Chain A
């Protein structure tokens, strides 16, 4: 077993997210991530994973590891990053999210939601209201992710922000909610986050860029010590098992 360090930005959007820049096509995301020194990225668009496979393909052609995930909006309007090793688990999870997401997108008010292929061709537009909140509680989202066949990860996104963070929405993290880690945004650092949010002492903390434009990819990243760039390995690192580590 050989462990090595991976620079990982686990919070990257693509042009599928309505609030994202249209330049965030699969090839552009991969090339910007490599240019900015990343070994691994996590693709997590709002409430959809329709560009994940294209970015994975573009990544594997260019030597960038890509984890497939989604940034789900819970009914409490908290954002959760959910990742799966197995693409079938991710697609099954997407079905679950779509069944619980109402509304149609309004491109003018919220932005276009471009579905792209791995060569940056436009294969369609997602017409669901991805900016909206699902009717799923944070607990039901974590339960569904945990029921997947393969490895899964659930990370509370940008907990230091006021909007769309589980701490911002609920005041503190309910004890019954099982999370693998908390993510802090580029607006803070670990020491400051621990001072302001006591929950950051009780969970592993990572950081990511929440990039909506190519230049922001890798602006913030977490250093993982892993055997391979997989969800299962990151899970071990967050739990501090078998020599795996996560440092932000």
Chain B
């Protein structure tokens, strides 16, 4: 599944990285601790978080994530947007809560690791 399929299916607002929507999504990860994402998220994962700090971009770039989805209509900081554009990291926004969004992504076929 590609990012663009998720954007269409869940009505995500694309804030950055509009040119990278062909990124293949290999699975999902949900966490609000950046150190945990660095340690456990996998290449090609889509990351569901409420974090809007610009460090999310570095974490996504380093981990090779397919993209970041911010929940609850959160607005990324200006420097987060600038850095994400520079690094080509897609940031998308959903109005849903984390629980609801992850549930729907799972139903659409996106899976996470069962044990870490």
A132–B38 alpha-carbon span in the complex (Å) = 8
A144–B35 alpha-carbon span in the complex (Å) = 22
Interface centre among B33, B35, B61 (most CB of A within 10 A): B35
A109–B59 alpha-carbon span in the complex (Å) = 8
Q: Which of B2-10, B13-21, B50-58, B98-106 contacts A (4 or more CB under 8 A)?
A: B50-58
A103 contacts B38, C-beta separation under 8 Å: yes
Whether A131 contacts B33 in the complex (CB less than 8 A), given A163-B51, A163-B53, A164-B53, comes out as no
CB contacts (< 8 Å) of A103 on chain B: these are 38
B34 contacts A133, C-beta separation under 8 Å: yes
* Number of chain A residues whose Cβ lies closer than 8 Å to a Cβ of chain B: 17
CB contacts (< 8 Å) of B61 on chain A: these are 108-109
How many whole Å from A177's CB to the nearest CB in chain B?
19
CB contacts (< 8 Å) of B87 on chain A: these are 109
Q: Which of A19, A75, A77, A109 contacts B62 (CB 8 A)?
A: A109
B34 contacts A77, C-beta separation under 8 Å: yes
CB contacts (< 8 Å) of B62 on chain A: these are 106, 109-110
Task: Tell me the B14-62 residues at the A interface (CB within 8 Å).
Answer: 33-35, 38-39, 51-53, 55, 58-59, 61-62
A192 interface residue per 8 A CB criterion: no
A77 contacts B33, C-beta separation under 8 Å: yes
CB contacts (< 8 Å) of A129 on chain B: these are 38
A132 contacts B58, C-beta separation under 8 Å: no
How many whole Å from A151's CB to the nearest CB in chain B?
30
For chain B, the bracket of interface size reads 10 to 19
A interface: dominant SS: loop
Number of A-B pairs, beta carbon distance below 8 Å: 32
Q: Which of B33, B39, B58 contacts A110 (CB 8 A)?
A: B58
How many whole Å from B5's CB to the nearest CB in chain A?
27
CB contacts (< 8 Å) of B34 on chain A: these are 77, 133
How many whole Å from A107's CB to the nearest CB in chain B?
11
Q: Which of B39, B51, B52, B58 contacts A131 (CB 8 A)?
A: B58
Q: Mark A168-181, 1 if CB is under 8 A from B, else 0.
A: 00000000000000
A162 interface residue per 8 A CB criterion: yes
A selection of 23 A-B contacts at a CB cut-off of 8 Å is: A19-B55, A73-B35, A77-B33, A77-B34, A77-B35, A102-B39, A106-B62, A108-B61, A109-B59, A109-B62, A109-B87, A110-B58, A110-B62, A129-B38, A131-B55, A131-B58, A132-B35, A132-B38, A133-B34, A133-B35, A162-B52, A163-B51, A163-B53
Instruction: Add 12 more A-B contacts to A77-B35, A108-B61 (CB < 8 A).
Output: A77-B33, A77-B34, A102-B39, A106-B62, A109-B59, A110-B62, A131-B55, A133-B34, A163-B51, A163-B52, A163-B53, A163-B55
* B contacts, CB < 8 Å to A: 33-35, 38-39, 51-53, 55, 58-59, 61-62, 87
* A contacts, CB < 8 Å to B: 19, 73, 75, 77, 102-103, 106, 108-110, 129, 131-133, 162-164
